[in-house]
Structure 1
Amino acid sequence: MRISELDGKKVAIWGYGREGRAALAALRWRLPGRPLTVFCKDDEVADLQAQEDPTLVIRTEVDAAALSAFDVVIKSPGISAYSSPKIDAELNGAHFTSGTAIWFAENAGAHTVCVTGTKGKSTVTALIAFLLRAAGERTALAGNIGLPLLELLDVQPPPDAWAIELSSYQTGDALRPAVAVVLNLFPEHLDWHGSEARYFADKLKLVTEAQPGVALLNAADARLREVGTALAARGQRVQWFNADDGWHVRDRWIMRAGRAVIDVKFLPLPGRHNWVNLCAAMAAVEALGIDPVPLAERVADFQPLPHRLQRIAEKDGLVYVNDSISTTPMASIAALDWYPGKSTAILVGGYDRGLDWGVFAERVAADAPGAIITMGQNGPAIFERLKAIATATKFVLRESTSMEEAVRYAQEALGTKGTVLLSPGAPSFPRYRDYAERGKHFAQAAGFDGTQISAIPGLGVR
């Protein structure tokens, strides 16, 4: 649905985070003076009132009856599509859309590379934008990575290419990307999707429903291999990364089939999972028809994204690493794979969304860190899960009630040498607004300036 199609309709915006603000600005730009309603939180009312817009109605109470009064509701992605009052309002005739869906309708001919996956999607999207710019393409970096697409609605001149990150909340809104990349699938966001099966299905809409020119999939993911085989059988063009005949990691080299292209010792990206992320980005650029091999030497200049195994600083013999983006136990395992052994104290825990920490417990039993400090809502459950393992393998296990306490316990466990690793394996809310705020708090608790660690390089059009 294009913005022009909203003219003459009763329209509401539901949610006033960054996506909601972008939607309001876009509608005011394209449809000035049209009556609009915004459903927002109590603490967002003052910001809306400050706009002094006589055609804007501000409401804080939302239910099915209120939503059903509108022809179209532009819903923010964080609001579940599978719960009331959205479902009830939809049954009563309200049509729901999103800023992402509107942008794709407005930019049907755009040359887009869309990236999703449980982990790594921000890094891969940023790498694709970096490589395309290195190849001389004027490229937009936007989407779930931190810049809503509607904030770039009328960019002039239009970019040559768009590198777009999509969360599982947004994949169903994409339309005809030139390349659709799916990196991996692990259970996540089950509270929003309602079940593991629905989460996987929603994630895969980027290749099953969006009609991409090329579906680029991770050959090492069993689920994606099945999906790719099914897509190819129905005529979809499918390509692979993380496979021996394409871009993959061998020993400590980034390989293109049998050709060694990049020695990973020159990469600014820590961890084998990040080397695989680079393979995905190189394969995506190649799928666009650009040879990425000549761009390989430029990768050394890539600036890693914050909150992803981010080395903050070293003080008093301890290195502090911020992996606040880690929201699943599998992500915490990947962090421990990069910082193994007794010289690491890892901080885990946050919002409890029912994920199983059994795989993490198995990893710890096989190769224990020096200390595990639990925190957050699911901290007590993780502590109980690990108690017997801690006794058997003799690592320090402590419960904390605050970030400051968790950092202090980690420091006490390590003494004057080692790595204090924040890799929570759980979402940040409700204690924090988002993972970035959690990462800043970690830096501050360790004695550093948290405001200096969070800028995402390369957003927008360059």
Structure 2
Amino acid sequence: MGRTAGARTMPLPLPITEYRDLPVTVMGLGRFGGGLGAVKFLIDRGARVTVTDLRPQSQLAESLREFDARQLVRLQCGGHVEADFAEARLVVVNPAVKPDCPWLQHIREREIPRTSENNLFWHHNRGRVIGVTGSNGKSTTTALIAHLLRNAGRTVHLGGNIGGSLLSIVDTIQPTDWVVLELSSFQLADLNRIEASPEIAVVTNFAPNHLDWHSDLDDYRRAKQAILRWQAPSSTAVLNRDDPDVCRWTTLGRVWMFGHEASRADAASSQIVVTGTDLHIDDASVPTSTETISLSGQFPLPGEHNAMNVAAAICAVRAAGVNTEQITPALKTFQGLPHRLEHVATVDGRTFYNDSLATTPESAICALRAFPGRVLLLAGGYDKHVDLTTFASEAARRCFAIAWMGQTATQLRAMAAGVTESAPSQRITFSLREAFDWLWELSQPGDTILLSPACASFDWFLNFADRGEQFRECVHEKSRAIAESQPGPSHPTSPE
């Protein structure tokens, strides 16, 4: 164990390594499979599995369909009870469970070993790990790293918060494979308990987030820093030089910096300097050579922030041994992610973008800055107790109209009021449909209508994907309605 984790080839130790007939409680199955990978993994290995979840069984139906519940020893829905843990010799805790949950105290008092789905994967994984974290930009960066590695001929497994659980295939992952993981602060806080960090760790940025889960900002920072804490000297850290917090984080390993200023951490570090759409690569291992990659016409995603995401991804794959000749052509074919500045359609001259993954004010600000023309915005949602003032001001300055949604709607409208003399039209709405219809009535050809909430989705929606899909459906319904109202045949004619 200890600081050799980043370069390890042997599994990390856990309190328990043999699962057959072992009583295991999975605490939190989740509506979207947060503990599903662990349940299937443990059942396959002959464990005696109890699943307990706060939600009623009706809300867990999608997850429960993924396995035969008759294989469980016990299924407890609608709340945890003492019997869920009475015989457990291991508890697998969903990352969404807050640290102050009284049942975690119950587990500690009884000295029951605990782990998580992510830590189970780390225990059994033999592959080389690239981990990505940050307050925003991490999903796009993670997906791009996997894309660049695959296009360079590497075997890649994408997981963590993006791509789903890899536990089901962990036995097939080879020591030469690359595992690319998007890691949340929740997962990193738990990973810290087994003293493990990725071989290549990428930090896109740091800003207050998830303060409804972490006790304070320092607790959130400590969780994020776990991605570097247990790196070995042979490991690599990829850090955002423009971020005044992240650029001071330390590692035992090598360093790649990316940002708009040319300044190495030390003589042995490497860097990518971003100037507009050009990326200047200064690799310390090749001291006499500086290479430039131009993103102009080469990378399909809009926005200056995406140039930084590309720079972070290139740092990571250069550290993994991929050269520029392999990187450049692969950039053209990257399609981006669903719900991340996703172009949905252009309808009657209005262009729609779905950025439902923008669950932080920083990521939503980046989205607003990606569009120079007239923008009509849908924003707001679940309150994570982060400061939304800067986002509200930016939205007021950049938008023609704003439909505020969810728990934060009232405070966002108040924050945006009076920011500029030519204030945007604002409205507090009570459904995504109402917000969409109101903005459509105000829009004209040439406008961009953007869903970029700056908030989580759990007040009105199942998750960010549900929110984005409902927005897409509004767009497609409007497109169909306009098409049906046009004169001419309702269906295209086929050639004779």
TM-score normalized with structure 2 length: 0.82
Q: What code does the residue aligned with 1:346 have?
A: L
Specify the alignment match of 1:199 in structure 2.
220
1:19 aligned to 34, 46, 51, which one? 34
Amino acid aligned to 2:391:
F
Distance, in Å, in 2 between the alignment partners of 1:132 and 1:185 is 25
The 1:328/1:410 distance shift into structure 2, 3 A limit, reads same
Give 1:117 shift: 0.9
C-alpha separation between the residues in 2 aligned to 1:317 and 1:420?
A: 11
Residue 85 of structure 1: CA displacement? 2.5
In the TM superposition, residue 140 of structure 1 has moved relative to its aligned partner by 1.0
Secondary structure of the structure 2 residue equivalent to 1:308: coil
The CA deviation string for residues 33-88 of structure 1, in whole angstroms up to 9 with x for no partner, is x3221103322576759825255211125447446522321011122233322234
Aligned counterpart, 1:254: 279
Deviation at 1:147, TM superposition (A): 1.1
Cα distance change of structure 1 residues 282 and 2 upon mapping to structure 2, 3 Å threshold: farther
Counterpart of 2:168 (choices 137, 148, 151) is 151
Deviations 1:192-242 (A, max 9, x none): 1122221111111111245581122111111112213xx3xxx44333222
Structure 1 residues 369 and 167, CA gap change in structure 2 (3 angstroms): same
In structure 2, give the amino acid aligned to 1:213. S
Q: 1:87 to 1:191 in 2, by over 3 A?
A: farther
**What is the rounded CA distance, in whole Å, between the counterparts of 1:45 and 1:428 in structure 2?**
18
Size of the alignment, in residue pairs?
Answer: 439
User: Which residue in the other structure is 1:239 paired with?
Assistant: 256
| Larger displacement relative to structure 2 (92-101 or 435-444) | 92-101
Aligned counterparts, 1:73-222, within 5 A: 73-107=91-125, 109-155=126-172, 160-174=177-191, 175-209=196-230, 211=232, 213-222=235-244
- Deviation string, structure 1 residues 250-296 (Cα, Å, up to 9, x no partner): 12212214532123332112111111111111100111233234421
User: Relative to 1, partners in 2 of residues 1:448 and 1:171: Cα closer, same or farther, differing over 3 Å?
Assistant: farther
The question of whether the paired residues in 2 share the 8 Å contact of 1:218 and 1:241 is answered with yes
* CA 67–444 in structure 1, closer or farther in 2 if over 3 Å, else same: same
Amino acid at match of 2:365: I
Q: In structure 2, what residue type is equivalent to 1:92?
A: R
| Distance of aligned partners of 1:36 and 1:344 in 2 relative to their CA distance in 1, 3 Å threshold | same
1:172 and 1:210 in contact (8 A); partners too? no
Question: What is the CA distance between 1:181 and its match in structure 2?
Answer: 0.9
The corresponding residue for 2:467 is 438
Residue identity in the other structure for 1:239: W
Quick one: distance in 2 between partners of 1:368 and 1:216?
A: 32
In structure 2, the partner of 1:10 is 23
Residue 119 and residue 273 in structure 1: after superposition, are their counterparts in 2 closer, same or farther (change >3 A)? same
The answer to whether structure 1 residue 275 and structure 2 residue 307 are counterparts is: yes
Q: Secondary structure at the residue paired with 2:399?
A: coil
1:375, CA displacement in angstroms?
0.8
Residue type matched to 1:418 in 2?
D
Give 5+ residue unaligned stretches, structure 2.
Answer: 1-13, 265-270, 283-289, 480-496
Aligned pair in 2 of structure 1 residues 28, 344: CA closer, same or farther (>3 Å)?
A: same
* SS across alignment from 1:270: coil
What SS does the corresponding residue of 2:185 show, helix, strand or coil? coil
The one-character-per-residue Cα deviations of 1:156-190 (angstroms, maximum 9, x if unpaired) are 66662111111111124442422111111111111
CA distance in structure 2 between the partners assigned to 1:395 and 1:45 by the alignment: 41
**Where does residue 374 of structure 1 map in the other structure?**
404
2:130 partner SS? strand
What TM-score comes out, normalization by structure 1 length?
0.88
